[in-house]
Amino acid sequence: MFHDGFRIIAGPCAVESRKQINEIASFLSSVGIKYLRGGAFKPRSSPYSFQGLGIEGLEMLYEMKAKYSLRVVTEILDYNDFGHFKGVDILQIGARNMYNYSLLSKIAGYTSKEIMLKRGLAATITDWLSSAEYLKVGGNSNFFLCERGIMRYGQEMRNLLDISSVPYIKQTAGYNVIVDPSHGTGRRSLIIPLSKASKAIGADGIMIEVHSNPKEAKSDSAQQLNFSEFETLLKELDI
Ligand code: PEP
Ligand code: MN
């Protein structure tokens, strides 16, 4: 368990503009959220899709951090960008980089910042734990894991959200594990039930994509909650 209790990380898939991230950060802080997520460097499956605002996006996140006293969570794709990530509170290693041992080792060796390691796109639990081991051996044990689902058969949902990994990892390795039902299901309507399930099975937190206008989102439009849906989620979680 985290020292500050059940951790809720929320925010848009990607930082899209100053106005967008400000609306979202302002709302989240008004409902008591302490951790703001938002991709500045986005690992998109297609090179033609929106790739994020990069350094400009990071700077907007830092403005939100200062303005609303939020802790910032964002993904690092390339070790060479590290110099720009100094203001980030939690470095996200995304699903596509779980197997990037060079990135894991370099980041772990360079910083004692908290790291969130997401499960690889089709990774076994053993492989995921091995990647966590790279962080430890590299010199950073200040990490937690994020279950975000693995590839599934069928198109009904984006991924197969394997919440069984949470108690398994907690029992065998003792790490903190949170769940990302947004990428885990890809469907807005499933976020609340899967968040409740995650809390019930002992997850240490959840990461939820929230957008001021999900329909207009530049990425992951179908899985982002609007503000009133997010408030319903908080109510249903009894937080
Ligand atoms: C994300 O959380 O922004 C993301 C890209 O997720 P994943 O790495 O799990 O696909
Ligand atoms: Mn996303």
Pocket residue to mutate for ligand 1, from 90, 100, 148, most atoms within 8 A of Cβ: 148
Q: Examine residue 65 and state whether it is found in any structural domain, yes or no.
A: yes
Average pLDDT (52-67) is: 98
Q: Examine residue 2 and state whether it is found in any structural domain, yes or no.
A: no
Residue 72 pLDDT exceeds 90: yes
**What percent of the chain is modeled with pLDDT above 70?**
100
CATH number, domain containing residue 159? 3.20.20.70
Residue 86 pLDDT exceeds 90: yes
Per the structure, the count of domains in the chain is 1
* Structure tokens that stand for 214 in this block: 């999900």
Q: Tell me, what's the pLDDT at 140?
A: 98
Q: pLDDT digits over 90-146, tens only?
A: 999 999 999 999 999 999 999 999 999 999 999 999 999 999 999 999 999 999 999
Is residue 189 packed enough to be buried (19+ CB in 10 Å), middle (13-18) or exposed (0-12)? exposed
Residue 77 pLDDT exceeds 90: yes
Q: Average model confidence (pLDDT) for the chain?
A: 98
Residue 52 pLDDT exceeds 90: yes
Q: Examine residue 213 and state whether it is found in any structural domain, yes or no.
A: yes
Q: Examine residue 1 and state whether it is found in any structural domain, yes or no.
A: no
Q: Tell me, what's the pLDDT at 214?
A: 98
**Dist. CA 4–CA 37, nearest whole Å:** 17
**Dist. CA 145–CA 157, nearest whole Å:** 22
The predicted model scores a pTM of: 0.98
Burial 137-175 (b: 16+ CB within 10 A, else e): ebebeebbbbbbbbebeeeebbbebbbebbeebbeeeeb
User: What residues does ligand 1 touch, defined as CB less than 6 Å away?
Assistant: 13, 39, 43, 75, 94-96, 118, 148, 183
Query: Is residue 195 within 8 Å of 233, Cβ to Cβ?
Result: yes
Query: Distance, CA 222 to ligand 1 centroid (Å)?
Result: 14
Report which bound ligand comes closest to the CA of 180.
1
Q: Tell me, what's the pLDDT at 15?
A: 98
Q: pLDDT digits over 176-233, tens only?
A: 999 999 999 999 999 999 999 999 999 999 999 999 999 999 999 999 999 999 999 9
**Dist. CA 121–CA 131, nearest whole Å:** 13
Q: Examine residue 106 and state whether it is found in any structural domain, yes or no.
A: yes
- Ligand 1 atom with the smallest distance to the CA of 13 is 3
Residue 239 pLDDT exceeds 90: no
Q: Examine residue 129 and state whether it is found in any structural domain, yes or no.
A: yes
Pocket residue to mutate for ligand 1, from 183, 207, 209, 224, most atoms within 8 A of Cβ: 183
Range of the domain at 221: 7-236
Neighbouring-strand partners of residue 179: 147, 206
- Ligand 1 atom with the smallest distance to the CA of 97 is 8
- What's the Cα-to-Cα distance from 9 to each of 29, 76, 95, rounded to whole Å? 11, 17, 17
DSSP 20: H
